[in-house]
């Protein structure tokens, strides 16, 4: 029993370091992540990072991996909702548009993860995995809205959503779900016309929110 309790305490300390790192990245960027700052945020001794990680870079890479894994979970939850719902297109577009909502430090940490991947090739694998999952969800959501989109269009949808997340993080008072829904609808209609699916494009264009 004591051994199990000790192990759980160890896992909790490691998790506290990762959560503190994500919070700090979201608040101030990767440059703010130091041994002293992270352990102070986590409420742990400064030697704790060395116990779990070979270096501060190892800590930040693992924090990003864990954070993106949680983003996967959010996508899975949305995919589960969409998969279990016989929803009209507007409801699907609304649900997908809400994914863009800025979530404070968490959204900023995702933005920082993109920037980290742009500068550090070693950080790109996790972002690539995240984008593949997001692309798949975009295609599934579009199918539930009654349309089929190509992988290229799916990536465009994700880029649009991520763009709104950036804007909403910078200007939270100007966030507007109706703007996001209109942008998603317009993009899907245009993509369908481009793909030669004129009937599907017109049908989506003519469907208006009730």
Per the prediction, the chain carries an average pLDDT of 80
Specify if 46 maps to a domain.
Answer: no
Tell me: pLDDT of 38 over 90: yes
Return the closest-CA partner of residue 110 out of 152, 157, 57, 70.
70
The winner for highest mean pLDDT among 7-11, 35-39, 75-79, 173-177 is 35-39
Specify if 132 maps to a domain.
Answer: yes
Average pLDDT of the segment spanning 21-45: 88
Q: What is the pLDDT of residues 84-138, one digit of tens each?
A: 555 566 777 777 677 666 667 777 878 888 888 898 888 888 888 888 888 887 8
Which of 40-49, 87-96, 103-112, 161-170 bottoms out in mean pLDDT, i.e. has the lowest?
87-96
Specify if 153 maps to a domain.
Answer: yes
Specify if 3 maps to a domain.
Answer: no
The predicted pLDDT at position 86 comes to 56
Specify if 19 maps to a domain.
Answer: no
Specify if 45 maps to a domain.
Answer: no
Average pLDDT of the segment spanning 19-32: 85
Tell me: pLDDT of 2 over 60: no
Average pLDDT of the segment spanning 3-32: 78
Specify if 163 maps to a domain.
Answer: yes
Output phi, psi for 209, to 5 deg.
-55, 140
Q: Check which CATH number belongs to the domain holding 196 and give it.
A: 1.10.357.10
Which residues touch 170 (CB under 8 Å, ≥6 apart)? Answer: none
To 5 degrees, how large is the angle CA 132–CA 175–CA 170? 75
Specify if 194 maps to a domain.
Answer: yes
- What is the value of pTM for the model shown? 0.71
Domain count along the chain: 1
Tell me: pLDDT of 209 over 70: no
Where in the sequence is the domain holding 67, given as residue range(s)?
55-206
CA distance 189 to 15: 44
């Amino acid at each position: 029993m004591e051994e199990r309790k000790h192990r759980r305490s160890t896992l909790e300390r490691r998790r506290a370091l990762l959560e503190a790192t994500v919070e700090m990245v979201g608040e101030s960027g990767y440059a703010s992540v130091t041994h002293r700052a992270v352990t102070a945020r986590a409420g742990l001794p400064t030697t704790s990072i060395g116990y779990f990680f070979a270096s501060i870079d190892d800590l930040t890479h693992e924090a990003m991996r864990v954070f993106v894994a949680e983003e996967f979970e959010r996508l899975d939850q949305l995919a589960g909702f969409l998969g279990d719902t016989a929803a009209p297109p507007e409801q699907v577009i609304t649900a997908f548009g809400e994914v863009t909502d800025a979530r404070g430090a968490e959204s900023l940490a995702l933005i920082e993860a993109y920037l980290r991947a742009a500068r550090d090739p070693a950080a790109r694998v996790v972002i690539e995995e995240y984008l593949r999952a997001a692309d798949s969800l975009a295609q599934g959501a579009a199918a539930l809205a009654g349309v089929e989109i190509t992988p290229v269009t799916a990536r465009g949808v994700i880029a649009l959503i991520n763009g709104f997340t950036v804007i909403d993080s910078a200007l939270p008072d100007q966030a507007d779900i109706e703007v996001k829904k209109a942008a998603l609808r317009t993009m899907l209609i245009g993509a369908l016309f481009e793909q030669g699916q004129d009937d599907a494009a017109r049908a989506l264009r003519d469907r208006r929110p009730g």
